[in-house]
Chain A
Amino acid sequence: QKEVEQDPGPLSVPEGAIVSLNCTYSNSAFQYFMWYRQYSRKGPELLMYTYSSGNKEDGRFTAQVDKSSKYISLFIRDSQPSDSATYLCALLIGGYQKVTFGIGTKLQVIP
């Protein structure tokens, strides 16, 4: 079993839709949870970074962490064509430098 599971998609949605992206993990030692966005032929860029269970909102983006279920989500409201990218979840055990990544979900927002 992989430490982090993420559906690779692709996921196609119409412009304006609410998008839900998810990851599950198996190691309860993970304490820090991140979402990265990666445009084609570019490096991943940090989108959201959370520590505790619950929700964190930043504009149209909401990151949700449920440590009891080992489940993390990223919601995108009012999705735009510019949101078309691959979204990677990333998890970190506190005190260690090594981040564990999901394989990424490719999202396409259709105008």
Chain B
Amino acid sequence: NAGVTQTPKFQVLKTGQSMTLQCAQDMNHNSMYWYRQDPGMGLRLIYYSASEGTTDKGEVPNGYNVSRLNKREFSLRLESAAPSQTSVYFCASSGQQGLASPLHFGNGTRLTVT
């Protein structure tokens, strides 16, 4: 059982380039999330999708867009990368909408923007 799978694992971009981070879960979870993790800042929510067809902004959405492609997949797009977006990005999923369900994380994408 793979759980939450993120691709790519590593990426280096130049300022202004674009890219899409992919995430897929096989746990039949309704809710999916994108976080970034930076030293001294902890995990910060970028966007989340409570269910298929809905997306909402989190704490730090500027510079990002998301797509909930289907129940399994939730992608994060950087349209014009900036050095401030250098970070480790984690995708997560959780079970039932509206209930307190723990998050299950992927192993992250390490992004460097030069």
Contacts and interface: CB of A to CB of B under 8 A. Distances in A.
Contacts of B92: 43
Of the four ranges (under 10, 10 to 19, 20 to 34, 35 or more), the interface on chain A belongs to 20 to 34
A101 B42 contact: yes
B107 to A, nearest CB: 5
Q: Which of B33, B41, B43 has the most CB of A within 10 A?
A: B43
B48 interface: yes
Contact of A43 (B31, B40, B50, B105): B105
Interface residues of B, number: 25
A98 B45 contact: yes
Grouping DSSP codes into helix (H, G, I), strand (E, B) and loop, the A interface class, with mixed when no group exceeds half, is loop
B108 A43 contact: yes
Given A43-B90, A43-B106, A46-B102, A101 B40 contact: no
Contact of B102 (A8, A49, A88, A104): A49
A27 B41 CA distance: 19
Interface in B8-42: 31, 33, 40-42
A92 interface: yes
A42 interface: yes
Interface of A: 8, 31-32, 34, 41-46, 49, 51, 88, 90, 92, 94-95, 97-99, 101-104
